[in-house]
Chain A
């Protein structure tokens, strides 16, 4: 078939003559060893708009960079194309080179003829040369349509909102406050402190949980940079990184608006109430938290105690392991043995999760002082009777009945009930179990994908106090990067609504945007989309979704991409 006639003009938009310079890198032998760079250069010289083409031994070297600069100056280039390696490593350098020579860095186009050509076609010199010509032709076609862009900058309010006043939220608050940033710490309960308010001596440090947390509460309450809101929840949130406005709903439904630059989520965990499981009654059959109170009071302790692990967890409903309940059971068993050495303690488990040096040590100690461990299988759960528990030991393969005047259920730990609401409000994701989901499990463990919102503590996954604090300090560190900079800079590869009149305010773009970078606003001419450029990551989902076709991706416009595709199909 014949191609339609769409010979695009070779004039940049403002009417000036197009003067493209192409630099072909030999990369030593990395490129030149497998394709003919001189042929590629000669070919580039013939392409529409190209006024200058040069081969470099290494374009990224001092010499190469100054050749680009000289090329720009001597030939009044207004577009630069480098055919070399990958933008991943070298785009910043060449953009900066253009800028130094007085050319807007976004009038630069990178063509990869190494990773995408010479390296993968090492035994086909002629085809590799032809492909490099194709790639250069495509790059030149795109370069012709590039437009100057300016970096987007937006101020960051030097204040943080921290949601959750447990040990994680408190630690993050203090860390930020001590660096001189203002903190608004919001706790939904009347009292601060979270789970630690209900615990006694905790491990591995063997310190009193209430003491640690009270000290921090006091320090936070007295810190001039920290404002504490108890019995308060965030009821509305608007804005974007650097400039969030939150509505706080406090006691007696009083509302207050605050403005912050960043947000840290530290909403913690709760324990499953094992209603209907193993004869739970809160007296004879209790939870770990209830037994913690008994240990703390330190009166008459039961003599025969049986712990049952994985209650309501690692089953079909909740497949995950709550991670810290084995350690808690071992700790509570040891504390009991310390007080009553003659006490009989059995821990009935499926698998033991006692990670880290300290907790492994704890486990050894427990075994040494005579705590008995009996493994069972999920399909043969223990049976709790009056005064005893019967279990089929997975090791012995036979039934075992152990005396019990107290049964402690190590129940699943769940995210706070408010998780779903918080997730919706902040537009940050939770996983299938309701725990918050970080941006990247390895590389960005404390960030959400949405810039400016961070996560720490047990709301991410059940964890110990030291892990909570470590994460809190990390999250505060991440947050302070933005707070200290005072502004955020964004690559101007963002979505723009270029014809607001045509926008019908359907809101599809806003609902699909993974970064909450589009808000729907009321204007005199109806509901319209508004792009929040600082929050935009340039993925382009909105542009390809807009049914009115009024969203453009800067630097990756339809015209630029189609010019590249057309050039590809035209053949040399």
Chain B
């Protein structure tokens, strides 16, 4: 199996199953057995690291290293170092201060985000944007792509998290903002977008309206 087969979904799923870290190994740069699979994997790993970080998790939990099949000692070195790093970081969510239901929701939101079309689309286009150029022949630097990814991905993860929380119970914008540790105005703006898309509905509550996912 080529590293190019590694889907963003495969990278998030193990965390939901209890993994504290995920390691991706691939062929050396420029020596992919399947042409460019490894460099595409690099892009996906970066994307998922951004997602983990935007969920408040430590980016060191996801690592990727390149090596040839003749480099056994290197593999050992990389994995040993990764395990050491992970031991420092500790069990998932603990040093990050996100545990229990919150962690589950964050990771589920992340999984939904990478299963969703929007994030998959930008992930797929990354290669084109950085290597061959978009429709207008513009290519972007990794830095620019990183920024673009961060915005789109953070947005999408937040959105999914809102939907997940509002799917469980109806609550006010203020309560939702408090649970998500963001500011109420941001949440309100998002909620009105979601309302327009009929993805949430509003009902009368005591003092403030209650929101619920449809």
Contact = CB atoms under 8 A, between A and B. Distances in A.
Contacts of A570: 17
B104 A1 contact: yes
Given A544-B44, A547-B121, A558 B9 contact: yes
Interface in B100-128: 100, 103-104, 115, 117, 120-121, 123-125, 127-128
Interface stretch (A218-226, A522-530, A535-543): A535-543
Nearest to B40: A541
A511 B128 contact: yes
Contacts of B5: 539-541, 543-544, 553, 556
Interface stretch (B29-37, B148-156, B164-172): B29-37
A553 B115 CA distance: 17
Contact of B115 (A3, A4, A549, A566): A549
Interface string A381-410: 000000000000000000000000000000
A545 B4 CA distance: 9
Contact of A540 (B1, B16, B93, B104): B1
B34 A541 contact: yes
Interface string B25-48: 000000000111100100010000
Contacts of B183: none
Contacts of A511: 128
Contacts of B4: 539-541, 544
B201 interface: no
Contacts of A556: 1, 5
Interface string A145-183: 000000000000000000000000000000000000000
A425 to B, nearest CB: 17
A558 B100 CA distance: 27
B17 A565 contact: yes
Given A540-B4, A541-B4, A1 B121 contact: no
B13 interface: yes
Contact of B117 (A3, A514, A543, A548): A548
A565 B121 CA distance: 25
B163 interface: no
A539 B32 CA distance: 11
Given A541-B2, A541-B34, A1 B103 contact: yes
B40 A545 contact: yes
Interface string A465-492: 0000000000000000000000000000
A1 B92 contact: yes
Contacts of B14: 565, 569
B120 A547 contact: yes
A339 B40 CA distance: 61
B53 interface: no
A565 B34 CA distance: 23
What's the interface size class on B, roughly? 35 or more
A258 interface: no
Contact of A3 (B6, B7, B18): B18
A214 B143 CA distance: 58
Contacts of B93: 1
B100 A512 contact: no
B10 interface: yes
A546 B34 contact: no
A537 B2 CA distance: 10
Nearest to B132: A511
A520 interface: no
Contact of B35 (A449, A547, A558, A565): A449
A514 B40 CA distance: 12
A48 B117 CA distance: 35
Nearest to B127: A512
Contacts of B121: 547
A545 B100 CA distance: 32
A562 interface: yes
B19 interface: yes
A549 B120 CA distance: 9
B99 A1 contact: yes
A558 B7 contact: yes
Given A1-B99, A1-B100, A3-B18, A547 B2 contact: no
A417 to B, nearest CB: 22
Nearest to A537: B34
A558 B10 contact: yes
A508 interface: yes
A549 B44 CA distance: 15
A3 to B, nearest CB: 5
Contact of A562 (B10, B18, B37, B117): B10
22 contacts: A1-B92, A1-B103, A3-B16, A508-B125, A512-B124, A514-B34, A514-B35, A514-B36, A539-B2, A539-B5, A539-B34, A540-B4, A540-B37, A541-B37, A541-B40, A544-B10, A546-B120, A546-B124, A548-B117, A558-B10, A562-B13, A565-B17
Interface of B: 1-2, 4-10, 13-14, 16-19, 34-37, 40, 44, 92-93, 99-100, 103-104, 115, 117, 120-121, 123-125, 127-128
Given A540-B1, A565-B13, 8 more contacts: A4-B16, A508-B124, A512-B36, A537-B34, A547-B123, A547-B124, A556-B5, A565-B14
